[in-house]
Copies of this chain bind each other. A is one copy, B any other.
Amino acid sequence: MIIHFPIPKIKRRKRKLPLPGAEPGVLIPPTELPKPIVYRIDYNSTRFDSTKLEIDSLTAATFPQPDVITWLDVQGLGDIEFLKRIGDQLELHPLTLEDIVHIHQRPKVEEYDDYLFVVLRAVRLLDENRIDNEQLSFVLKDRILATFQERPGDGFNPVRKRLQDGKSMLRKNSADYLLYALLDATIDNYFPALEAYADTMDLLDERLRENPHPNLSRAVHAMRRELRQFRRAAWPLRDLTGALGRSDFTLVTDQTKLALRDCHDHAVQVADFVESGRERASDLADLYLAMVSEKTNQTMRTLTIIATIFIPLTFLCGLYGMNFDPDASPFNMPELKWKYGYPAFWITMILIFLLMLWFFHRKGWIGNKNKKY
């Protein structure tokens, strides 16, 4: 039976492949995802309204109100018809809607005529053994930010709280600043997961140095796989945040770009840490091999010492266990009849034994003669 060393595991979901050659914009419902719940938050520096949106109430007239910024927070992607209606209201390109629904997109930022589309992966430590990994899409229009999550439950609550606070900078800025705040929260959520990996590797490291148990090797192998998965989510963030902070997206103000520079720094740090983690996991695999080689060597040594000491002694015993008939000839094992034959035999044996000990001691195989290493 194999007992596994506990490793934080990233949630995986079997990719539901669109039929190759399907019409672009044909949406394949990820049926296992929950039905969408939509929260609508309208705010400006003086106002703050949060409502749970009914599906029927979603008409073009209802949003982009003058002087108000609207955050449309869609949680759950399980109802294609509903998402299509939202797409129509927001005037999204069919390919954008396809990217939102098909939850295995590579993180990217795309500019369309009148909106900016950002899709990335939100990786979040749930507890010490589970790491959530969901796709997060942002659509930024003039005074609207729409966010799409796979299901309820996210890392945005601190931002929601800040929004309620009338003195927060969020309230004084445009929708792109809200996008920044949510991106920042998403990226900051990567760190606790990275810390969990680092802690697990610290533990693995310590255990490996003590005893290279094969379960630790399996754990290191699993760790490498998780980090590979993690990297696939984390690396594109660097380019994404870099592009957002640098390029001439008209929807992003200069002040937000300054803030996004900070965001980009964090994304670079995440990528650095992932890479360090990967190198470290690779080192641990090397260490395991080195430790097992040494252990095999020690096992061999134990056997060799025991065998080398006793095999000659056993031979000697065998020698005097032979039945050459002393009566038949005076040459036949006369030592068996000597007076001190047996004591002499013992002395010989003890001498051989001591000689062997001395030999192995000199080779450094036994004894702790304070050898420098």
| Apart from the given pairs A302-B304, A310-B314, 16 other A-B contacts in the complex at a CB distance below 8 Å | A104-B269, A110-B261, A214-B294, A221-B290, A228-B279, A228-B280, A289-B289, A290-B292, A296-B297, A306-B307, A320-B322, A324-B345, A325-B337, A328-B339, A329-B338, A332-B342
Shortest Cβ distance from residue A318 to the other chain B in the assembled complex, whole angstroms? 3
Contact yes or no, A23 B162, CB < 8 A = yes
| In the complex, chain B residues whose CB is within 8 Å of the CB of A285 | 286, 290
| In the complex, chain B residues whose CB is within 8 Å of the CB of A159 | 21
Known pairs A21-B181, A211-B373, A272-B106; A336 contacts B325 (CB<8 A)? yes
| In the complex, chain B residues whose CB is within 8 Å of the CB of A300 | 296, 299-300, 303-304
Q: Does A157 contact B (CB under 8 A)?
A: yes
Q: Which residues of A contact B (CB under 8 A)?
A: 2, 5, 15, 17-25, 93, 95, 98-99, 104-106, 108, 110, 155-159, 162, 168-170, 181, 184-186, 188-189, 191-192, 195, 205, 207, 209-218, 221, 224-225, 228, 232, 258-259, 261-262, 265, 268-269, 272, 276, 279-280, 283, 285-297, 299-304, 306-308, 310-315, 317-326, 328-329, 331-333, 336-343, 345, 364, 371-373
| In the complex, chain B residues whose CB is within 8 Å of the CB of A17 | 188, 191-192, 195
Count of identical protomers in the assembly? 5
Contact yes or no, A20 B185, CB < 8 A = yes
| In the complex, chain B residues whose CB is within 8 Å of the CB of A328 | 336-339, 341
| In the complex, chain B residues whose CB is within 8 Å of the CB of A265 | 105-106, 108
Counting from the closest, the 9 A-B pairs by CB-CB distance are A21-B158, A317-B318, A21-B185, A20-B188, A213-B373, A320-B322, A328-B337, A303-B304, A321-B321
Interface of A is mostly: helix
Choose from B162, B170, B299, B373 the contact partner of A297 (Cβ within 8 Å): B299
Contact yes or no, A326 B325, CB < 8 A = yes
Choose from B2, B210, B259, B373 the contact partner of A95 (Cβ within 8 Å): B259
Contact yes or no, B20 A189, CB < 8 A = yes
Closest B residue to A318 by beta carbon equals: B317
